[in-house]
Amino acid sequence: MKTVVEIKNVKKRIGKKEIIHGISTKLYPGEVFGFLGPNGAGKTTMIRMMVGLTKVSEGQIFINGHSITTDFEKAVRHVGGIIENPEMYKHLTGYENLRQYERLFPDPLPAGRVDEVVKLVGLEKRIHEKVKSYSLGMRQRLGIAQALLHKPSLLILDEPTNGLDPSGIREIRQYIRRIAKEEQMAVFVSSHLLSEMQLMCDRIGIIQNGHLIRVEKTEALVHSGNQEVLINAAPSSKVKDLLGDRSYQQTEDGFIVQAEKDELPELIRYLLKHDIDLFEITPIKKTLEDSFLQMTEEDSYAYAQTAAK
């Protein structure tokens, strides 16, 4: 498959301190790739390197086959983005702002492209007003409009739903998914909001302390880790005995037991054979948040261990 972005063992050092420790990954057309990590993990630094705002200390980033370091203009020609907040020239109108970005491209964009993107983000009514009168949501839309102006093959959005209300978030999310598929664009989204990423992304890379610790399909990530089931049964003293050395946790709703899916029939038969009243047995659906916390905890634990050595 064609790759839109190839990140090869990228490192970033500021002074002597290394803040990105060799990240590699690829992005393909039509996919939404989530870059997930706590604040300060290196998401924005990575994004800044991808658009050439910050120099790459080591390694390489290719966009449509062009290196961002040695072939900046060709590489960045295919990139559109919002880096953190969509800051615009406040003393100009929304339309004038878009015209500014239009003129920054060496080969003129097709006539009417500006009006097209204005329509796309639904800003027709207010586009001729000065940006200082815009709400945050409108600025976000204008930001997306400028990012899409030149039909990029890579769209980079740093925390795109920052400061938006729930309906705005939903709108942006649906919109991002749609254009990724329709335009066969690769979308690189960063966020620390896990629930958000779960709904928006096809694949998710988890970054922590400058390491890309995992890249998985969203589905796989959500269902990874140990599966847990809730077993509501009585009498509880007997259940405890029967569970024996399985790891479990007693709660108000019953027992939360660690068990893989294929172990379940066996477990249920075993409990029923011993005359247990079984009221409920439910697999606990993990959210990305749970997986994420679990993973990053394991990771920090591993760090602490190595640090101790």
**Residues found near another protein in the complex (CB under 8 A):** 14, 48, 51-55, 72-74, 76-77, 79, 81, 83-92, 96, 100-101, 103-106, 146
Separation between Cα atoms, residue 107 and residue 89, nearest integer Å: 23
In whole angstroms, how close is the CB of 94 to another protein at the nearest point?
13
Which residues on neighbouring strands pair with residue 233, listed in sequence order? Answer: 278
Choose between 86 and 254: whose C-beta lies nearer to another protein.
Answer: 86
In whole angstroms, how close is the CB of 278 to another protein at the nearest point?
58
In whole angstroms, how close is the CB of 153 to another protein at the nearest point?
14
Strands, E assignment, 210-306: 211-217, 228-234, 248-251, 254-258, 277-284
Choose between 104 and 302: whose C-beta lies nearer to another protein.
Answer: 104
The number of angstroms, rounded, from the C-alpha of 126 to the middle of its chain's C-alpha atoms is 31
Tokens coding 77:
């020609």
In whole angstroms, how close is the CB of 48 to another protein at the nearest point?
7
Choose between 45 and 161: whose C-beta lies nearer to another protein.
Answer: 45
Q: Containing H/E element for 79?
A: strand 79-82
Residue 71: Cβ within 10 Å count: 14
In whole angstroms, how close is the CB of 77 to another protein at the nearest point?
4
In whole angstroms, how close is the CB of 257 to another protein at the nearest point?
48
Choose between 162 and 258: whose C-beta lies nearer to another protein.
Answer: 162
Choose between 100 and 249: whose C-beta lies nearer to another protein.
Answer: 100
Choose between 88 and 288: whose C-beta lies nearer to another protein.
Answer: 88
Backbone angles phi, psi at 213, to 5 degrees: -85, -20
Cβ(227)–Cβ(258) below 8 Å: yes
**Torsion on CA atoms 179, 180, 184, 189, rounded to nearest 10:** 140
Choose between 79 and 233: whose C-beta lies nearer to another protein.
Answer: 79
In whole angstroms, how close is the CB of 124 to another protein at the nearest point?
22
The number of angstroms, rounded, from the C-alpha of 237 to the middle of its chain's C-alpha atoms is 44
Tokens 């204005």 found at:
118
In whole angstroms, how close is the CB of 102 to another protein at the nearest point?
9
Backbone angles phi, psi at 79, to 5 degrees: -115, 135
Which residues on neighbouring strands pair with residue 254, listed in sequence order? Answer: 251
The radius of gyration of the chain's CA atoms, rounded to the nearest angstrom, is 24
Choose between 104 and 220: whose C-beta lies nearer to another protein.
Answer: 104
Q: What is the 8-class DSSP label of residue 263?
A: G
Separation between Cα atoms, residue 151 and residue 153, nearest integer Å: 7
